[in-house]
Amino acid sequence: MSDFNGEKMKKGLDPLEVNGNSRLLTHLNSCVHCGLCAESCVYYQVYGDERFVPAKKVDIVASIYRRYHTFSGKYFPWLTGARELNEATIEEMVDLLYGSCTMCDRCTVHCSIGVDIGYLVRTGRTMLANMGYVPATLQSTVNAAMTTGNNMSIPTQELVDTVQWLEEDLRFEVNDDNACIPLDQNDKDILYTLNPREPKFFPLSISAMAKVFYAAGESWSLSTRMYDVTNYAYFSGNNEEAREIARRLHDEMEIRGAKRCVLAECGHGSRSFRWEGPNYMGKEYPFETLTSVELLAEYIRIGKIKTDPEKNTERVTLHDPCNLVRSGGIVDEQRYILKHTVKDFVEMTPHGTDNLCCGGGGGQLSMSEYNERRMKIGGLKAEQIRKTGAKIVVTPCHNCVDQLIQINAAYKLGVQIKTLAEVVADALILENNKQ
């Protein structure tokens, strides 16, 4: 932190420039410090520490805004608690905005005023990113994506090899030598993306989606050059890097000439490309963007695939990824899919837009320095899962899958964690007895 200087300070204050940004101006001026948001935060629920009240996270950003942009903050900073941007403030910001927030936006939905708390946390992260204070662990994930094209630095050949053996498995499973996982094909209806965790750790989720595409007779392809749905720069707050990562996928869509970009099961990836990406780039996409959750629901709804819930008889519960439900409006699609693919579905309490974050959001999975906190707040999710009595937890998000697997082990839940595509693939009725 000893490298903090005037130039960094200027860069840090840039994101608080409200001219032309009514959203920022509004939310920076709206919090009344009622503190009623406290229980909406999983960190506060677990630790009971007043530092973790969402309003504190708002205030550390808003107090800096007040100090440099308001009359009372400039001349009577003590009155409104206006704070200077200095080393002490930055240290606190890093801990509050990176280390104790999963950007789940639960507090925003429940704020008594309507302050977009998640947006202000992201703005605070942008301030820190501009000054170069992104935690090194998180930044290394962004760097991997920037330099290699995917956040796990998977070499292209490794992806190709993985897809090839998955393709062989698929042919065997569906008993059709023509079944394939197309790579780098142009002018398909769908360009399907992946979370790099899939080829690296969870290849069966790729198989599952490939099987669904096969059953649907879909015209689709993967890209070996740009397939990464994630955008950890959304978490770091670095808008230039976020824009560059989104631009690459956008450009790949244009090069491949696909009609629809289908985003793999990844909460923040969906959010950062579908909703934030066009705004990072300052332009509308010339193609349709949708999540695989919406696509799966569409397939079932229009009869493009047939499923049999009797094929999944164990009790299933659903973990809603925060970015899909609260910031993406995808709440009922996954329930509709489960209704048609599993026999015994039970909701967690709370669920949907009220769901509790699993603890893996906000880049927490990559910031190992906060592992202890992450696993501790995961205890709330563990308790929710335990109460359902489910044997399988389904979640349409690979970051959530990763966190839930760790929660499963740490809290000895004895459940299976699956993606939605895996459940759909298990329930598929393939024609011509090709299964």
Partner 1 sequence: MHWYLWLTLFSLAVCLISCLYHFILLLRAGKPIDFSAPAGTTGNAIRYSFSGAMSPKKKESAYLHLPTYTAGIFYHIGTFLSIFLFFLFLFSFYPTGIIKWLLGGVLAVSSFSGLAILIKRILGKQLRSLSNPDDFISNLLVTGFQVLTLLSLFLDNVRPLYYIGVSLLLLYLPLGKLKHTVYFFAARYQLGYFYGWRGVWPPRKINNQSE
Among residues 366, 403, 362, 405, the alpha carbon closest in space to that of 144 is found at: 366
Give the footprint of partner 1 on residues 198-257 (CB under 8 A): none
Single out the residue of 79, 136, 409, 410 in contact with partner 1 (rule: CB under 8 A).
79
Residue 10 or residue 23: which is nearer to partner 1 going by CB? Answer: 23
Which residue's CB is nearer to partner 1, number 207 or number 307? Answer: 307
The answer to whether 321 touches 267, Cβ cutoff 8 Å, is yes
Q: In which order are the strands placed within the sheet that holds 392-394?
A: 344-346, 315-318, 392-394, 416-418
The least distance separating partner 1 from the CB of residue 111, rounded to whole angstroms, comes to: 6
Partnered with residue 288 across adjacent β-strands are 260
Radius of gyration of the chain (CA): 22
**Contact status, residue 323 vs residue 308, Cβ threshold 8 Å:** no
**Residue 139: CB partners within 8 Å, gap ≥ 6?**
236
Q: Which helix (H) or strand (E) holds 64?
A: helix 54-69
- Binding flags for partner 1, 178-197, as an x/- string (CB under 8 A): --------------------
- In the bound complex, what is the minimum distance in angstroms from residue 34's beta carbon to partner 1? 7
**Of these, 2, 3, 5, 78, which contacts partner 1 (CB under 8 A)?**
78
* Nearest distance, CB of residue 156 and partner 1, angstroms: 30
Window contacting partner 1 (CB under 8 A); options: 68-76, 129-137, 147-155, 247-255:
68-76
d(CA 426, CA 91): 48
Site for partner 1 in 296-335 (CB under 8 A): 297, 300-301, 325-329, 331-333, 335
Instruction: Name which position in 4, 68, 336, 411 contacts partner 1 (CB under 8 A).
Output: 336
Choice from 16, 38, 245, 262 touching partner 1 (CB under 8 A): 38
Q: Contacting partner 1 (CB under 8 A), which of 68, 94, 148, 278? A: 278
Q: Which string of b and e fits 226-249 if b means at least 16 CB within 10 Å?
A: bbbbbbbbbbbbbbebbbbbbebb
Stretch that binds partner 1, among 34-42, 126-134, 165-173, 392-400 (CB under 8 A): 34-42
Q: Which residues contact 329 (CB under 8 A, 6 or more apart)?
A: none
Shortest approach of partner 1 to residue 386 CB, angstroms? Answer: 22
Full DSSP string of 293-326: HHHHHHHHHTTSS-B-GGG--SEEEEPPPHHHHT
Residue of 5, 19, 432, 433 interacting with partner 1 (CB under 8 A): 19
Whether residue 375 contacts residue 337, with contact meaning beta carbons closer than 8 Å, is answered with no
Interacting stretch for partner 1, rule CB under 8 A, among 204-212, 274-282, 397-405, 416-424? Answer: 274-282
DSSP structural state of residue 272: I
Least distance from C-beta 3 to partner 1, angstroms?
30
Contact with partner 1 (CB under 8 A): which of 274, 319, 374, 418?
A: 274
Q: How far is the CB of 89 from partner 1 (least distance, A)?
A: 15
Q: Which stretch binds partner 1 (CB under 8 A): 20-28, 191-199, 231-239, 377-385?
A: 20-28
* 45 belongs to the binding site for partner 1 (CB under 8 A): no
What is the distance between the alpha carbons of residues 150 and 156, in angstroms, rounded to a whole number? 10
- Give the residue with the Cβ less far from partner 1, 33 or 434: 33
Q: What CA–CA distance (Å, rounded) separates 338 from 200? A: 26
Kindly report the backbone phi and psi dihedral angles of residue 316, in degrees, each rounded to the nearest multiple of 5, phi listed first. Answer: -120, 140
Residue 9 binds partner 1 (CB under 8 A): no
Least CB distance to partner 1 at residue 395 (A): 19
Size of the site for partner 1 (CB under 8 A): 72
CB of residue 410 to partner 1, shortest distance in Å: 27
Task: Compute the half-sphere exposure of residue 94: CA atoms within 13 Å on the CB side of its CA.
Answer: 20
Cβ nearer to partner 1, comparing 19 with 433: 19
Task: Out of 285, 380, 391, 416, point to the residue binding partner 1 (CB under 8 A).
Answer: 285
Rule CB under 8 A: which of 100-129 touch partner 1? 108-116
Which residues, listed in sequence order, are joined to residue 263 by a DSSP beta bridge?
A: 291
281 phi and psi, to 5 degrees? -85, -15
Residue 214: enclosing H or E segment and its boundaries? helix 203-216
Residue 75 CB, nearest approach to partner 1 (Å): 10
Q: Which of residues 349-408 bind partner 1 (CB under 8 A)?
A: 353-354
